[in-house]
Amino acid sequence: MDAGLDKVDAIFEKETAIIDGVDISGPWNRMFKERVIWEYTPELIDKVADLPGGESFAWCYQCAKCIPVCPVDMVGNYGPRKLYRMAQTGTDLHKSEELWLCTTCANCLRVCKKVVDMVQIMPAVREQAVLDGNVPEELQKAFEDTAKFGNPLGQGQRKRAAWTKKSDVPVPIMKKHGQPVDVLWYVGSYPSYHPRGIDAALAAARIFNALGIDFGILGPEEKDDGDTQRLAGESGLFEMLAEHNIAMFNKYEWNTLVVTGPHELNAFKKEYPKLGFDRSALHYTQFLVQHLDQLKPMLKHEIKATVTFHDPCYLGRHHGEYDAPRELLRAIPGLELVEMGRCRENGYCCGGGGGGMWLDSFTQNHTTMRLSERRVLEAVAYGAEILAVCCPFEVSRFEDAAKSTGNDQLKVLDILELLDQSMRG
Ligand code: SF4
Ligand code: SF4
């Protein structure tokens, strides 16, 4: 309820009012006197806007353009306009559970004329909440596991390259390799440890070998990139991980840094440079598309299926890459690519960004369904038999969502797996 209501007069209210057969008697037709903005409290807006990074929160002029594009609003009640209004009417965002629902997907930023930037605002407020100890338990666990083990899955650092033992092709580990490489492949936490992520990593290793790429991985010297922890409010942990990874990148000689995941791409291209890292990075789709002429003749086996592609927020909106994944998919013979309604710039979010990956139980109490479930329903509605992804967060999220929505027939595959299948049959 509006905090300002007690300060205004309800000047129009008919006890009985029926219009076109619709009964709008009593409070349903209540109208208020026009009132000026200082009847609302600015303090809680200032509390956000005064934080470094939080400034743009105060620029919102309540146009509501952000609401229809917010993926959380589609399964709940959310969006920058609503958060601003809540702060204006008495909600302290620092202490509110709403603070943890934004996935930093940037779709609101895309349409906001005032450039209200949740990608900056959310980490700024969350950082303060983390310092105050107001963190959902499951997110705190991911922070602690990352600090202790170097990855949010809580797996041993020394086992980071254990997946390579399953590989039927060589995967050189830089420390043992002892020579410069053309491509340093940053594998990432989920492809190193999660069973479905490992499937994609094994496929990538086979593709790199088939293309004759001179590559190496850091293995046990690699730690989580930390960017998602930063967006979830743990900037100290992010800096610790970044310093470690930058030191490892600088330890070896290489020409191109290739990453499996869009969140790592964001870390290395946008955030690590603030800490002194002066090289760039490519997402694997961007790298492989440069080798498409060489790759195409190797894609010998048809994959006869209707496939739709989910644009990862941090590859698409955050880094403007929409074409490379599609070009790779179109190169696979037999495959029919169909687009979902929410794609490319307006792509729907899987719910894993900004810490959402580690907040599924928490968000369940605030939404009618998970974002990943909403997306799976969309893929099915468009007739997809396969949902193709290229972010390591997504395979497990969408596979779970396919099961929980009763759509087990929908296969979820990384583009790496599809390319590998087409190469090997
Ligand atoms: S689009 Fe921007 S200005 Fe408009 S309501 Fe949303 S945050 Fe506010
Ligand atoms: S960044 Fe995405 S999830 Fe967050 S408020 Fe904006 S549209 Fe919603």
Q: Are strands 10-12 and 31-32 parallel, antiparallel or unpaired?
A: antiparallel
Residues in contact with ligand 2 (CB, 6 Å cut-off): 69-72, 78-80, 102-108, 118
| pLDDT the model gives residue 18 | 93
Q: What is the pTM of this model?
A: 0.90
CA distances in angstroms from 358 to 45, 136, 234, 318, listed in the order given: 27, 10, 13, 21
Alpha-carbon dihedral angle through residues 211, 332, 392, 219, given to the nearest 10 degrees: -10
Ligand 1 in reach of 392 Cβ (< 6 A): no
Ligand 2 atom showing the smallest separation from residue 106 Cα: 1
Whether the predicted pLDDT of 9 surpasses 90: no
Rounded Cα–Cα distance for residues 117 and 106 (Å): 8
| pLDDT the model gives residue 30 | 86
Confidence of residue 345 (pLDDT cuts 50, 70, 90): very high
| pLDDT the model gives residue 33 | 75
Q: How many contiguous H segments (helices) and E segments (strands) does the chain have?
A: 19, 12
| pLDDT the model gives residue 81 | 98
DSSP assignment of 193-244 equals HSHHHHHHHHHHHHHHHHTT--EEE-GGG-----HHHHHTT-HHHHHHHHHH
Confidence of residue 94 (pLDDT cuts 50, 70, 90): very high
CB of 192 closer than 8 Å to CB of 186: no
Distance 359 CA to ligand 1 centre (A): 25
∠ at Cα 265 (260, 270), nearest 5°?
Answer: 170
Q: What percent of the chain has pLDDT over 90?
A: 92
Whether the predicted pLDDT of 8 surpasses 70: no
CB of 183 closer than 8 Å to CB of 291: no
Whether the predicted pLDDT of 11 surpasses 90: no
* Longest CA pairwise span in the chain (Å): 85
Count the residues in the chain. Answer: 425
| pLDDT the model gives residue 6 | 53
Q: What are the tens digits of pLDDT across the range 19-34? A: 999 999 998 988 877 7
Q: Considering every ligand atom, which ligand is closest to the CA of 116?
A: 1
In 3D space, the residue among 317, 310, 309 whose CA is nearest the CA of residue 266 turns out to be 317
Distance 227 CA to ligand 2 centre (A): 17
Distance 345 CA to ligand 2 centre (A): 14
Q: What are the tens digits of pLDDT across the range 311-320? A: 999 999 999 9
Q: What are the tens digits of pLDDT across the range 121-163? A: 999 999 999 999 999 999 999 999 999 999 999 999 999 999 9
Q: What are the tens digits of pLDDT across the range 363-415? A: 988 999 999 999 999 999 999 999 999 999 999 999 999 999 999 999 999 99
| pLDDT the model gives residue 302 | 98
Average pLDDT, the chain: 95
| pLDDT the model gives residue 12 | 80
Q: Are strands 254-259 and 282-283 parallel, antiparallel or unpaired?
A: parallel
Q: Give the mean pLDDT of 273-299.
A: 97
| pLDDT the model gives residue 4 | 47
What are the structural domains of the chain? 1-38 (no CATH), 40-134 (no CATH), 137-289 (3.40.50), 296-424 (3.40.50.10700)
Q: What are the tens digits of pLDDT across the range 37-90? A: 666 778 999 999 999 999 999 999 999 999 999 999 999 999 999 999 999 999
Confidence of residue 341 (pLDDT cuts 50, 70, 90): very high
Q: What are the tens digits of pLDDT across the range 115-129? A: 999 999 999 999 999
Confidence of residue 36 (pLDDT cuts 50, 70, 90): low
